[in-house]
Amino acid sequence: MGWVMTLITSSATHLPLSRIVHTLASTLGVGSAPDWLVPGAACDLLLDSIPPAEAELTARRIAGDAPIDIVVQPVAGRRKRLLIADMESTIIQNEMLDELADFVGLRRHVAEITRRAMNGELDFAAALAERVLLLKGLPVSVLDQAATRIRLMPGAAALLATLRRAGVYTALVSGGFTVFAEPLAARLGFNRVVANRLDIANGHISGTVAAPIVTRDTKHDVLAECAAALGVDPDAAIAVGDGANDLPMLLQAGLGVAFHAKPAVAAAARFRLDHADLTGLLYAQGYRHGEIVRP
């Protein structure tokens, strides 16, 4: 089986990557020339007979603290047929419960619960219920106000537009709320969206979430369902997320990427992007600069 190492940088100058690629290729004895997907910014190295685990350890040692992401995977099946994506702190920069908590003056308190839940320190469903209860009685108008704060993660629009043109099926699966996820999915062109539904009564937030709650198991199951519907193996999927509830789908997918993830998640995931924006998911699949669609 052939293996490929992709090195990606978010640096504006890209100079460290060029130097590191040269040093790494020489150290590993790579036979073929580096293949630059984006000149100075993203590069493939074919590993030939070099053991992939050894190559990755060597690359991380040489890269040191440089802002460079490293992905090592089989060449075969590298371009995926299915994307399953988390929403908050992944496709968008926000955590929407934290935004809503602003309206009751509890942002810092709720943000700390969010951080601990996403790092796997708290039960997700219990943490969700605790945070939503704090919103009880707020008028539904705050949902529209919070929606105006949504900021796309850099590279999100290009990721979805490029995959859509390539015929990839995309699903947004979020432990957040449909009131935010559904418009976002329509805006970016996701094929499917799964999220939690806030209970509303008499024009106010009830402080509860309608069952069933989207959990880590839901994300795993949606990936399996989508793969089965497409007639492909989960290895043909790329999954991306940042929180502990994303781990089952990240470990199930052929390319499961912890994106700027919480420490426990980054440590457990097989693949991670700590520096690149979401276009790094495209370069990891071998897409070239000229193939990227930028809306």
The residue extents of the domains of the chain are 1-76
Task: For residue 32, give the 3-state DSSP assignment.
Answer: coil
Residues of the chain below pLDDT 70: 11-15
- Cβ(241)–Cβ(250) below 8 Å: yes
Task: For residue 165, give the 3-state DSSP assignment.
Answer: helix
Q: How far apart are alpha carbons 121 and 127 in whole angstroms? A: 10
- 196 strand-pairing partners: 177
Tell me the H-state helices in 102-177.
Answer: 107-118, 124-133, 141-147, 156-165
Q: Tell me what pLDDT residue 12 has.
A: 56
Residue 200 sits at φ, ψ, to 5 deg, of -125, 140
155, with CB counted inside 10 A (0-12, 13-18, 19+), is buried
* Closest by Cα among 90, 265, 269, 106 to 176: 90
Q: Tell me what pLDDT residue 48 has.
A: 84
Residue 111 in tokens: 């943000």
- Cβ(80)–Cβ(168) below 8 Å: yes
Q: Tell me what pLDDT residue 124 has.
A: 87
Q: Tell me what pLDDT residue 16 has.
A: 77
Q: Tell me what pLDDT residue 117 has.
A: 87
| Architecture label for domain 1-76 | 2-Layer Sandwich (3.30)
Q: Tell me what pLDDT residue 182 has.
A: 99
- Tell how far CA 256 is from the center of its chain: 8
Q: Tell me what pLDDT residue 206 has.
A: 97
Q: Tell me what pLDDT residue 15 has.
A: 65
Angle at 5 between CA 164 and CA 92, to 5 degrees: 40
Q: Tell me what pLDDT residue 243 has.
A: 94
